Amino acid sequence: MDFAAFLQPQIKTYIDQLSAHDDPVLAEMEAVAAERNFPIIGPVVGRFLYQTTLIRKATRVFELGSGYGYSTLWFAKAVQRLGGGEVFHTDGDRKNSEQARNYLSRAGVVDLVRFRVGEAIEALHQTPGLFDLIYMDIDKHQYPDAFPVIREKLPAGGVLIVDNMLWFGRVVDKNDTSASTEGIRRFTRALWADPEFFTTLVPLRDGFIISVRM
């Protein structure tokens, strides 16, 4: 099962066309992702990150798992439009962090971005203060371990967005008991069981959740 099963091809094309943009840095990053087969969220979900940041008026954003900064750029563009703030970029790979700094600098938003190289959950734990919005896209087996730290750092009214919640259909494949699939399942159960979080799963791309802390 893969994500082609979530949307009919014509519907996917229709949504893709509606998500077109004219940002040259985003376009370059999309081309690099296609060339290297690097799993960025893409423009459909990118728009959602941008829009949610504006709706929430989120000026303090923390990303767990930022890669070379594509999702970071969508957040940073929104924070810039809100008049300024901070977006935390985290990645375990220093090369990704350096590439992100270059792209974000060329896009004119690097002053808003704080870079942390290392383990993202630990970086969230170590960073002082609370966040308006937390976004998670790290290795999937780590999702359950991240949840208690996210709870520490997200106040009432805070928004949580998490990518890959359908895991290309694997979450409903009973034969798949891999650590990554089980990680997503355990995290999903914990989130839905938590009375302080109200969550919706959106089946775009690979499925993501948006949750609000009550």
Phi, psi of 176 (to 5 degrees): -90, 105
Q: Which CB atom, from 92 or from 169, has the smaller least distance to ligand SAM?
A: 92
By CB under 6 A, name the one of 138, 171, 191, 209 that touches ligand SAM.
Answer: 138
Q: Which CB atom, from 152 or from 196, has the smaller least distance to ligand SAM?
A: 152
Is 133 within 8 Å of 88 (Cβ atoms)?
Answer: no
By CB under 6 A, name the one of 25, 26, 40, 110 that touches ligand SAM.
Answer: 40
Name the CA radius of gyration of the chain, rounded.
16
Which residues, at least 6 apart from 16, have a Cβ–Cβ distance to it below 8 Å?
Answer: 43, 44
By CB under 6 A, name the one of 71, 97, 181, 188 that touches ligand SAM.
Answer: 71
Q: How far is the CB of 163 from ligand SAM (least distance, A)?
A: 7
Cα 120 to the center of its chain, rounded Å: 13
What does the per-residue mask of binding to ligand SAM show for 79-108, with x meaning CB under 6 A? -----------xxxx--x------------
Q: Which CB atom, from 67 or from 207, has the smaller least distance to ligand SAM?
A: 67
The strand pair at 159-162 and 208-213 is best described as: antiparallel
Q: Which CB atom, from 60 or from 89, has the smaller least distance to ligand SAM?
A: 89
Give the three-state DSSP class for 138: coil
Give the three-state DSSP class for 98: helix
Helices (H), the chain: 9-18, 24-36, 42-56, 70-81, 94-106, 120-126, 143-153, 179-193
Q: How far is the CB of 195 from ligand SAM (least distance, A)?
A: 27
Q: How far is the CB of 145 from ligand SAM (least distance, A)?
A: 9
Binding site for ligand SAM (CB under 6 A): 39-41, 65-67, 70-71, 90-93, 96, 119-120, 137-139, 142
